[in-house]
Amino acid sequence: MHKFVRLSALAAAVAAVPLAASAEGITNRTIGYVLTNKSWAVYQTPDGKTECPAGLNDGPREQFKALYPDDGKQRTLLETHLAREADIWFPNENEPETDKGPLPFRYAAGKMALGLNLDGKIGSKDFSGPRGDTGIDNELYRVLGCVPGFRGPDGANYFFENDYMQRYIFNRVLLEITDVDDLTNDNDVTVTTYRGLDGLLTSANGKDFIAGGTQRIDDRWGKRYIHRLKGKIVDGVLTTEASDIKLPWALTFDTNPDQGFKQAKFQLRLTENSAEGLLGGYVDVKDWQHRFTINWSTHHSSYGQMSIPSITRAMRKLADAYPGPDGKMTAISAAAEMKFAQAFILHPEKSVADAAPTPGAKPVDQRAAGGQ
Amino acid sequence: MRAHHVLSGLFAALLLSASPAGAQRAVVEREGYLPEPMPPGFGVVVNEVEGPVFTDAAGKTLYSWPLKGLRNGDVGDRKNAPSACTSEVYKVNSGLMSPYPAGLILPDAATRKSCQEVWPPVLAGKDASPVGKWTVIARKDGAPQWAYDGYPLYTSTLDTAPGDVIGGTNRRARGDGPGIREPIGPHPNIPPAFEIRQMNTGRMLVNFAGFSVYAWDGDGADKSNCDAGCLKKWSPVLAAETSQPQGEWTIIQRSPGVRQWSFRKKPLYTFIADGRPKNMLGTDEPGWHNVYTQRAPAWPKEFTQQESHGGIVLADAAGKTIYLYTCGDDALDQQTCDHPTSPQEYRLAVCGGGDAARCLKTWRPVAAAKDAKAPNKTWTPIDIDPLSGHYATPDQANAMRVWAYRGRPVYNFERDAVGDVEGDAWGEFFGFRNGFKAYWLRDDFYSNAG
């Protein structure tokens, strides 16, 4: 059992003289947060007609019926069921687009979206944000915006990705901000992501996640989730410099995939109790498809009319970064909405740097460890 | 009635080969079981994976097919009802696994056998009488069939040697897995306060709440040396005042009136930091081990163990994670589709989009050396046709010798680096129905290790 000896944000209980604490919640120039809510950033109007004028997309069931109508023809499992599964796991790379033909795809329209300006430019395809931001890069929104499962508050993916993130510790994401003197303005802070090992602290009704919980760092299995980012706080908003990161992003049924973000930036409004805002970055299309497909069976995707072959082809079509050897873009701009609650982050006895994986190191032999 | 007896659980059989990292001991311990009355001709074999299983007079393992609810209906046998495994040959799927509809022609429709051809019923003689949990149920054609605990019994045509369990699945049915046949056996010889969990590392003892129990190298034979400091982390598994020693189980007195269970002379504990059933966190403490009635059979000696982002996985010599492929079809009789003799269309769809060459690249069977020898009955080298996935013909030039677990090839995933499990849950229904799951040895977050 690890001995967690350093409390990153434990208030004055253990510190006779707090060091440079200019706000409550900051101790030893450090404050921690734990992720409590996340969803892919989908801008929605009340009736959806602005962004989805042609309606919402079909899912696996509807597409199956469109491809194989009930016309009395006897079909084989190989040419139907297994062909669809083949298309899910290996979406046809040569099919150029999905907005025509037997399986039409409806992209989100309009100029408004949530997200960040990832490339520092204001291009003709960029969105504007509801608060007047410009140059927003979020092509993934065009793909997901009219897929019911990704729309809040009750879309299947919107709900369950969040629900299982909250339930399963595998998905616990911590942010620790160090070198912070002021939560309102500080032009040089360090943000470190970790995986935590504990449940979320809830209010008495069990529904609301509240500040003040404690989280241990997973410094053994969670090394891949440790990322150190530089950032600054301006008018209470933390913005980190672009960096590649990976976060645990699993659902249920014992699945355990990650979601990578290239050139990722957090933009979070900070308080002593919470952090709320966006994570923007480019997601590799193949990785996104892989993670989603691992996380969602075809049956479950049907709940939210989430057709992974159609979504993947649409992502390929709108991919806007990281050209591959053939010149085709391999990644797509994206954003996720995130909420964090303040948490006291307990560091293991050894520094995380010490715990970095040693190339070639052998793990404990499970047969030896398990035997008596 | 055939005479039988309580096995001590200790089979002093020498191992055929050493296990990875020299961890294997000199003897193989096998699970003990409680005697129970059986009809004449039946027996018990202690299988190296499943523990004690009932066998027929030929030594073939007996299976039941308990009812399982699928998304759109149930499959399997109902308790105390005639067998649902009949002479009917299904040509189309049942549509019980959402979202695909019923009535689609099965890949093996032209050659498919009936359920009772691949799962021969265990028939009873005309004068057979019920014994204990053993009863006789009339099949739909009137033939008497043995049942155990109310469920009709079968053998598997995939089993060839006494005590084989190839007919069973290489993964427990969970979630949306198919309705599987399970080997049946006598009750293990364990006190009521314990249960056994089938893990990839062996048949592991847990307490009544499902939490792992441990033993400590620092203890003596039936003597606990876990003092006040030790007890801050470890809780002795206490025996009730009325508990009695049985078989390999003894009870030691920690202090007057405080009784602790001991198994094979090792006092037992739970670990306070284990937050979930079957957690193995206590094995990180030096000298502390999980406790098994019997360990999993040794995997091929060149295999390794790697740390992943959720625990420890079995890997090949290069460190790439080992995956098991599991498949059950959607016909009403839920036949297997993950064996080299099964239809391969299911696997080819999810491993290569129907393209055999891509499949071979994406999900490559784990190669075995030409002179590889099976360390046991569970891990065996087999020769397959690399493209079709079926057994190779005897003189096939491009035959591939691969490692098989319970008769089915094991695989690596193309995108994995050392310690990765990128392919875990790849396939239909999270890999439960037609897909791949990593061979987890320890999973600190989920239940992938067993």
pLDDT single digits (tens) A231-255:
999 999 999 999 999 999 999 999 9
pLDDT computed for residue A357 by the predictor: 41
Task: Say if the Cβ atoms of A81 and B421 lie within 8 Å.
Answer: no
pLDDT computed for residue A207 by the predictor: 83
Nearest to A366 among B175, B305, B425 (CB): B305
**In chain B, positions 226-255, which contact chain A (CB-CB < 8 Å)?**
233
Q: How far is CA A370 from the centre of its chain?
A: 36
Instruction: With residue A166 as reference, give the H or E element that holds it.
Output: helix A156-167
Task: Say if the Cβ atoms of A89 and B310 lie within 8 Å.
Answer: no
Largest CA distance in chain B: 72
C-alpha–C-alpha distance, residues B173 and B180, integer Å = 7
CA nearest to B318, candidates B420, B401, B407:
B420
Task: Say if the Cβ atoms of A221 and B424 lie within 8 Å.
Answer: no
Instruction: Give the CA count within 13 Å in the CB-facing half-sphere of B158.
Output: 21
The answer to whether B369 touches B383, Cβ cutoff 8 Å, is no
Strand-pair category, A213-216 with A329-348? parallel
C-alpha–C-alpha distance, residues A126 and A122, integer Å = 6
Distance (Å) from the alpha carbon of B448 to chain A's nearest alpha carbon:
6
Task: Say if the Cβ atoms of B289 and A370 lie within 8 Å.
Answer: yes
C-alpha–C-alpha distance, residues A190 and A247, integer Å = 18
Residue numbers in B near A365 (CB within 8 A): 20-21, 23, 305
Give me the percent of chain B exceeding a pLDDT of 90.
Answer: 91
Q: Looking at the DSSP assignment, which residues form a beta bridge with residue B295?
A: B202
Tell me the CA distances in angstroms from A324 to A284, A286, A328, A331, one per residue in order.
11, 12, 6, 9
Question: Has residue B6 got a pLDDT over 50?
Answer: no
DSSP state of B72: T
Average pLDDT of span B6-14: 38
Residue numbers in B near A76 (CB within 8 A): 104-105, 107
Distance (Å) from the alpha carbon of A232 to chain B's nearest alpha carbon:
30
Residue numbers in A near B176 (CB within 8 A): 253, 297, 299
Tell me the CA distances in angstroms from A20 to A12, A178, A234, B89, one per residue in order.
12, 12, 19, 78
C-alpha–C-alpha distance, residues A314 and B46, integer Å = 55
Reduce the DSSP state of residue B431 to 3 states and report it.
Answer: helix
pLDDT computed for residue A267 by the predictor: 98
Task: Say if the Cβ atoms of B105 and A76 lie within 8 Å.
Answer: yes
CA nearest to A30, candidates A13, A50, A49, A10:
A10
Average pLDDT of span B131-139: 98
Q: What is the mean pLDDT of chain B?
A: 93
The answer to whether A249 touches A258, Cβ cutoff 8 Å, is yes
Give the best-scoring range by mean pLDDT among A202-211, B3-12, B195-204. Answer: B195-204
Question: Has residue B255 got a pLDDT over 80?
Answer: yes
B contact test, residue of A173, A256, A284 with most B CBs within 10 A: A256
Reported as a single tens digit per residue, the pLDDT across A152-167 is 999 999 999 999 999 9
For A205-259, the DSSP string reads TSSSB-S-EEEEB--SGGGGG-EEEEEEEETTEEEEPPEEEEEE---STT---EE
Task: Say if the Cβ atoms of A372 and B266 lie within 8 Å.
Answer: yes
**In chain B, positions 109-168, which contact chain A (CB-CB < 8 Å)?**
none
Q: Please give the ipTM for the structure prediction.
A: 0.92
**In chain A, positions 157-216, which contact chain B (CB-CB < 8 Å)?**
168-170
How many CB pairs below 8 Å do chains A and B form together?
188
The alpha-helical segments, DSSP class H, found in A278-338 are: 285-295, 298-303, 308-318
pLDDT computed for residue A261 by the predictor: 98
Query: Higher confidence at residue B149 or residue A360?
Result: B149
Which residues of chain A carry a pLDDT beneath 70?
1-24, 93-101, 350-372
Report which residue type is found at A105: F
Distance (Å) from the alpha carbon of A213 to chain B's nearest alpha carbon:
17
Task: Say if the Cβ atoms of B104 and A86 lie within 8 Å.
Answer: no
Q: Which residue of A has its CA nearest to B359?
A: A90
CA nearest to B440, candidates B182, B37, B171:
B171
Question: Has residue B184 got a pLDDT over 90?
Answer: yes
Residue numbers in A near B95 (CB within 8 A): none
Instruction: Give the CA count within 13 Å in the CB-facing half-sphere of A178.
Output: 10
pLDDT computed for residue A68 by the predictor: 95
Residue numbers in A near B311 (CB within 8 A): 221
Average pLDDT of span B118-132: 97
Across B130-159, b (16+ Cβ under 10 Å) vs e yields ebebbbbbebeeeebbbbbeebbbbbbebb
Distance (Å) from the alpha carbon of B287 to chain A's nearest alpha carbon:
8
Distance (Å) from the alpha carbon of B381 to chain A's nearest alpha carbon:
22
Question: Has residue B173 got a pLDDT over 80?
Answer: no
Tell me the CA distances in angstroms from A119 to A115, A242, A280, one per residue in order.
12, 10, 11
pLDDT computed for residue B176 by the predictor: 83
Task: Say if the Cβ atoms of A369 and B350 lie within 8 Å.
Answer: no
What are all long-range contacts of A154-157, with beta carbons under 8 Å and residues at least 24 apart? A155/A304, A156/A300, A156/A301, A156/A303, A156/A304, A156/A306, A157/A40, A157/A296, A157/A304, A157/A306
Distance (Å) from the alpha carbon of A294 to chain B's nearest alpha carbon:
6
Burial of B269 (0-12, 13-18, 19+ CB in 10 A): buried
Q: How far is CA B70 from the centre of its chain?
A: 21
